[in-house]
Amino acid sequence: MPIVVQKYGGTSVADPDRIKAVADRIAAGHAAGNQLVVVVSAMGDTTDELLDLASRVSVSPPQRELDMLLTAGERISMALLAMALSERGVPAVSYTGSQAGILTDSTHGEARITRITGERVRESLEEGKVVIVAGFQGVDPESKEITTLGRGGSDATAVALAAALGADSVEIYTDVEGVFTADPRIVADARKLDEVPYDEMLELSAGGAGVLMTRSVEFGRRFDVPINVRSSFSEDVGTWVREASMEQAIVSGIAHDRSEAKVTVNRVPDRPGVAAALFGPLARAGVNVDMIVQNVSHAGTTDISFTVPRANVDDAERIAKQVSDGIGAGSVDVDPDIAKVSVVGAGMKSQPGVAARMFETLAEAGINIEMISTSAIRISCVVRADQIEEAVRVLHDAFDPPVITEEPAP
Ligand code: ADP
Ligand code: ASP
Ligand code: MG
C-alpha cells in the first residue's frame, strides 16, 4: 500500500469545523487504500498567542521552557484531529514528535532534524491506523529534551518524514492554492505556478516566501521528495516543487521578507582582519548574518552594514558594540525599518540585464536601494519597510508575464 504524507497548516486546522473538514479529506484518502501519515500545525494563531503569553510572564523566557510551551500547540491539534477521525470510524493515533522518533540536535527554537526512527509510526500504519504527527518538534536523544524546529517547522517535519518513510511525495495543505509568482496577499494578480524547481523554491523561501519553510525544501531536494503545495480549501492540483524540467523562466517569482533589521558599525578602521573580527563573534553567537555592505573607505575608515533576523538584533548590537570598542571603530546604529525584496529565476544565469531592470524599476517607483546581494539565480535589494509592498508590486508588473529561456541553464 502506498504511504502518503500530508501536512495541514495552522489555517487548515484553525477551528473545529476546519478540523472536521480535514478529517473528511483524510477519511477519503484512507478509504482509497492509502497508508496515511498526517503532520499538523497548531490551530490558527496558537503559536503566536503562546509566544505572547510567554512575553507577559518573562522578558527573556528560557529557551527550554519556550519549547515546552510551543510544542503544546501542535499537541492540541493532533489529538483533536485523531478524535475527529475516530468519530468517522477511521482508526487513528496521534504522536508527539518525540513519540514519532523525530530526533534533533540540541538547539532550542531552531533545532535541526538529525534522524527519524519512526518505529511507532510504521507499527501503527501496519495496524491500519492513520498516524497523526505533531509538526515542528522533536527530541534531542542525548539530553532527552524537547525541541522545536523554527517557525514554519511543520513543513520540515512533513518532508523529512516522507523521506524517512520512503513516500513518493509529500502533500502540503495550506490556505493558498500553491506557490504563486509573488505573495497573493500583496499582488492581487499573482499567478499560481504549476511547477517550481527545488533551487528556485529554496531562493524564494530564503527570500521570505513563507509558503514553504526553507529547510523543508532542502530536505526535498536532498532526498528527492517532490513537494505538492495545495489548498485544504479546494480540490485544485496546486504546485509541484521538484527537479527542474526543461523550460526555465528568467524570473519565476518575487519574494519579500520583513523579518530582518540592519546594523551599521560606523568608522571601522580599514585594515586587514576587521571584517573577521566583527563577523567571527557574530557567527559564534549563532547570529545568522544575511546581507553585508562595506562602503568605500574615506580617510582610513569605512562603514559596515549587515542584516540579521530581528529576533537576534539585540545580540548583534551587543556584539557589534563590543567589537567596535575593541578595534577602535565608532558608534553602532540599529535600523529595524527595512525589508528585502528578491527577484528569483534560474533562467537569469544565462540572461544579462535582470539586475539593471530591477534597479530601474525600483528607481522609477521612487524606491531607494540600501543594500544589494546576488546569487546565480537571485537578486535581492534592501529597501525601506514602508515601501516593500510597492516594491513587490512594481517588480511583479515589470517581470510578469515570464520570459522563458529556450535551453535550461547549464
Ligand atoms: P500554513 O499555516 O499553512 O503553513 P503559511 O501562512 O505558513 O501557511 O503559508 C501560507 C502563506 O504564505 C500564504 O497565505 C501567503 O500569504 C504566503 N506566501 C508568501 N509568498 C507566497 C508565494 N509566493 N506563494 C504562495 N503563498 C505565499
Ligand atoms: N506552529 C508553528 C508556527 O506557527 C509551526 C508551523 O506552523 O509550521 O510556526
Ligand atoms: Mg507555514
Measured distance CA(192)–CA(367) in Å, rounded: 27
Confidence of residue 295 (pLDDT cuts 50, 70, 90): confident
Query: Cis omega before residue 352 (within 30°)?
Result: no
At residue 30 the predicted structure's pLDDT band, cuts being 50, 70 and 90, is: very high
Mutate which of 174, 213, 231, 254 for ligand 1? The one with the most ligand atoms within 8 Å of its CB, which is: 174
Tens digits of residue pLDDT in 251-288: 999 999 999 999 999 999 999 999 999 999 999 998 99
Q: What values do phi and psi take at 148, rounded to 5?
A: -120, 160
Ligand 1 centroid to 169 CA: how many Å? 20
CA of 410 to the centre of ligand 2 (A): 36
Taking the CA atoms of the chain, what radius of gyration do you get in angstroms? 23
What SS3 class is residue 329?
Answer: coil
**Joined grid coordinates for residue 363:** 528607481
pLDDT at 402: 64
Q: Look at ligand 2, atom 4, and give the residue with the nearest C-alpha.
A: 47
CA distance 395 to 378: 13
Question: Sign of dihedral through CA atoms 352, 195, 375, 368?
Answer: positive
pLDDT, mean of residues 164-175: 97
Q: Is 183 in the pocket of ligand 1 (CB under 6 A)?
A: yes
pLDDT tens sequence across 97-138? 999 999 999 999 999 999 999 999 999 999 999 999 999 999
Ligand 1, atom 15, lies closest to the CA of 183
Q: Which residue has the higher pLDDT, 91 or 248?
A: 91
Looking at the chain, the whole-number percentage of residues with pLDDT higher than 90 is 91
**Residue 198 cell numbers, joined:** 527545488
Q: How confident is the model at residue 298 (pLDDT cuts 50, 70, 90)?
A: confident
Smallest-distance ligand from the CA of 180:
1
Sketch out the chain's domains with CATH numbers. 3-175 (3.40.1160.10), 245-410 (3.30.2130.10)
* pLDDT recorded at residue 226: 98
Measured from the Cα of 232, ligand 1's closest atom is: 3
Would you say residue 165 has pLDDT above 80?
Answer: yes
21 backbone dihedrals φ, ψ, rounded to 5°: -65, -40
Residue pLDDT, tens place only, 386-409: 999 999 999 999 997 665 555 554
Mean pLDDT across the chain: 95
Q: 92, 107 in Cβ contact below 8 A? A: no
299-355 pLDDT per residue, tens: 899 999 999 999 899 999 999 999 999 999 999 999 999 999 999 999 898 888 999
Residue 296: the pLDDT is 86
Residues 1-17, mean pLDDT to the nearest whole number: 96
Does 358 sit in the ligand 2 pocket, CB within 6 Å? no
- Helix, strand, coil fractions of the chain, as percent rounded to 5: 40, 25, 35
Please provide residue 132's backbone torsions phi and psi, each rounded to the nearest 5 degrees: -100, 130
Q: Is the pLDDT score of 297 beyond 90?
A: no
Instruction: Confirm or reject: Cβ of 42 under 6 Å from ligand 2.
Output: yes
- Least distant ligand from the CA of 8: 1
**Residue 185 Cβ < 6 Å to ligand 1:** yes
Instruction: Note whether 305 and 264 are within 8 A (CB).
Output: yes
